[in-house]
Structures are given as structure tokens and as C-alpha cells.
Amino acid sequence: MPVLLPPALELSLDLLRCPTCRTRRLRPDRGALRCPAGHSFDIARHGYAGLLTGTRATSGDDAAMVQARDRFLSTGGYAPIRRAVADLAADSAPERGTVVDVGCGTGYYLSAVLDQLPGARGLGLDTSVRALRAAARAHERAAAATWDVFRPFPLADEAADVVLDVFAPRNPAEFHRVLRPAGRLIVVRPTGRHLAELRSRVPAMVTVDPAKEQRLHRALDPCFEAVVTEQVQYPIDLAEPDALDLVGMTPSARHVSHADLNEDGPLPERVTVSVLVTAYQPR
Ligand SMILES: C[S@@+](CC[C@H](N)C(=O)[O-])C[C@H]1O[C@@H](n2cnc3c(N)ncnc32)[C@H](O)[C@@H]1O
Ligand SMILES: [Zn+2]
């Protein structure tokens, strides 16, 4: 039986452009999205659109990482970050705006933004189908689609009021193309203090390179100007399962075993969460 068009995907259809011919619109047709030239993209029974076809993406979270992230986020450990993102996005977008979350994961941040903007619609993009299964259910106004941030987005020019990028890879030129001139790009990234107590115990958790902030600035500077930056920093108590999930959702450390972690004594019971949240305006 063909999959029905998920209501959130219907809400976002006019944003989408055919990933193959780039300019044509997509229309629903028997469980798929099709462009007038006949290019066709399946709608998965889990509710997301499979826009990324052909060669495989180079990165993306696997099932175990998505589960670890989902469990950790449900503890509320990153709730203050979520609040900061939602507040900034709500200040930046019109009430009936369009929010695109790139590398959306399970849709944790996008759903909070949509809660604050009752007339807005959202679209989450990610390479991970496991993450998108959750993202497609995260909010009644959030659609989800497979996409690789490093390829030209299957989106119309100037379609978005807010682009979110939370701990995810970035494509400044495409962010700029899809944002309206008055729109905002909201980027969340870790500072050097983020989870430092845990990182020092788990060498496979990559330390945050101090030059990273400079690289971000250099990459975004031709297209964007920072409007406001907030530092969100606080301690959290960490039960052992939460520590294991924080490690398990880190690409470089996800294969570290329980035994590896306990080799040097107990894991820290408190860690510092420390991120920067910046809203940028297009140049
Ligand atoms: C650290 S997670 C952050 C997820 C989500 N924004 C959050 O904070 O809960 C990075 C996300 O980027 C996705 N990702 C990795 N490489 C990607 C790519 N090339 N294109 C799109 N998404 C990608 C991963 O699958 C993962 O969901
Ligand atoms: Zn086409």
C-alpha cells in the first residue's frame, strides 16, 4: 500500500526542489515525491522523504549513536541549550516562519523551536535514517528528509527564516542561499570546557580544538555576520548510564567499551556543559 503523504511533509512541499534537476518542484504521487521531469524519491513508511539517493553520504549517526543521543537528551541534560536555541529562534522568525534544521538528529531542537512559534513549519535534514525516524515524529509541524549537508540543498532560494545547526556539519554557502535576507542562522558548538571532565577520562572523545572557533568564523565570515552570541554553561550530575550515553553519541568514541571507561577508576559524577549559541545574519 502506498505511504500517505505525512501532514508535516505536505506543509513543507513548496520549500523542496528536485535534488536531481534542482529547480523543479516536487509533487506527491503514490507514496513518492516526483518532479515534472520524472525524478522520483520515496517517502519512507517512517515518515521522512528519501531525497538523498545514489552515492552514500560520508558521515551520519548509526542506530546505537541515535539511541544513546535520544536517551541522553531525554534526561534533560541539554535542556538549557534547547531553551536558548528556541528563544533565539523565536526572536528571529516571524510567527508563521519556516525553520530548517540541518543535521537535525532526532529533532530535539527543532521541536522546541516549533513549540515557541505556533504558526511555523519545520524541516529537518540529516544523513542518518535512524535519526530521521525520530525526527519525523518529533513534532506535528516538522517534516524530515535525508540529505547530506555537503551537497547543494534540495530547497528553494530564500525559503527559510531560520536555519539551525546544532553540533552538526555546516555548509555556509548553502545556508546563505536558502535563508531569506532578514533570516537568521543559529549555530551551536562546544567550547573547550564542554564535558572537559569526561573528555580527560576518554581520550577517544576528541578534545575541542581551540582553533575551531577561528575556523568557524573564517568559514562563515564571507556569508554571515554574528548578531548575538550567548554562552550557555552549567554543571550537570552524571549517573554512569548518562556518561556512557554521552560517550556513545560521540562519533570518535562510540566504540569505547564500558570496561575501557572504568579502567582508571570511577567516571566523573559532575561535568560542565559549555556551548556557544550564535545568531548570524546574512551579508
Ligand atoms: C552531533 S549530532 C547532532 C544532532 C542534533 N542536531 C542534536 O544536537 O541533537 C550530528 C548530526 O549530524 C548528522 N550528520 C553527520 N554528517 C552529516 C552530513 N554530511 N549531512 C547531514 N547530516 C549529517 C548526524 O547524523 C547527526 O544526526
Ligand atoms: Zn527532477
How far apart are alpha carbons 202 and 121 in whole angstroms?
39
> Percentage of residues in the chain with pLDDT exceeding 70?
99
Reading the block at residue 24, the C-alpha cell is 523543479
DSSP state, residue 265: S
| Over residues 18-35, mean pLDDT | 94
Domain boundaries, the chain: 58-282
Does residue 3 have a pLDDT over 80?
no
Backbone angles phi, psi at 61, to 5 degrees: -75, 140
Q: How far is the CA of 109 from the CAs of 164, 169, 259, 267, in angstroms?
A: 8, 15, 32, 28
- Closest CA to ligand 1's atom 12: 103
pTM over 0.75: yes
Most confident of 74-88, 208-222, 254-268: 74-88
Distance 155 CA to ligand 2 centre (A): 13
Give how far Cα 77 sits from Cα of 63, 74, 80, 235, 238, Å.
21, 8, 8, 9, 9
What is the spatial distance between Cα 146 and Cα 23, in angstroms, rounded to a whole number?
A: 18
Nearest atom of ligand 1 to the alpha carbon of 250: 1
Give residue 2's pLDDT: 61
Q: Using one digit for the tens of pLDDT, what is the confidence trace for 144-197?
A: 999 999 999 999 999 999 999 999 999 999 999 999 999 999 999 999 999 999
Give the residue with greater pLDDT, 265 vs 120.
Answer: 120
Q: CATH for 58-282?
A: 3.40.50.150
Q: How far apart are CA 26 and CA 251, in angstroms?
A: 34
